[in-house]
Amino acid sequence: MTTTRINDLDVPGSGPWWRHPMMWLVVGGPGMVVVAGVATLVLALTHPDPVVPSSDGVDRSGVAAEAGADAAMAPAMKARNHAATGGQTP
C-alpha cells in the first residue's frame, strides 16, 4: 500500500489578495464609511450654519426662558424640564 502526500507545489495558489471579491466586501464597506465621514466633517467645517437673529432683535443665546416668557415657549420648556428630571414629579 502506498500513501500519497500532497506537496505544497501540487496545490494551486490562491492568488494575490486584491483578486478576492470577499476581501473587497470586508474592506470596502468600512472604507466607504470612513470616506463619507471625512467628507461630512469637511462640509460641516467649511459651511457652518448661520446664526438666525431673533424676531425682536434681542440676543437670547444661552439664556433660559423666564416665567413671563411667550406662551409659545411653554411646551418646549415643559419638555426640556421633563427630559432633565427623567419624568419625576416633585
At 71 the pLDDT is: 64
Residue 32 has pLDDT above 70, yes or no: yes
Q: Which residue has cell 478576492?
A: 20
The C-alpha torsion from 35 through 38 and 39 to 43, rounded to 10°, is 170
- Whether the model clears a pTM of 0.75, i.e. scores above it, the answer is no
Q: Taking a C-beta distance cutoff of 8 angstroms, is the pair 60, 54 a contact? A: yes
Domain boundaries, the chain: 17-48
Residues in the chain: 90
At 19 the pLDDT is: 87
The set of cell numbers assigned to 23 is: 476581501
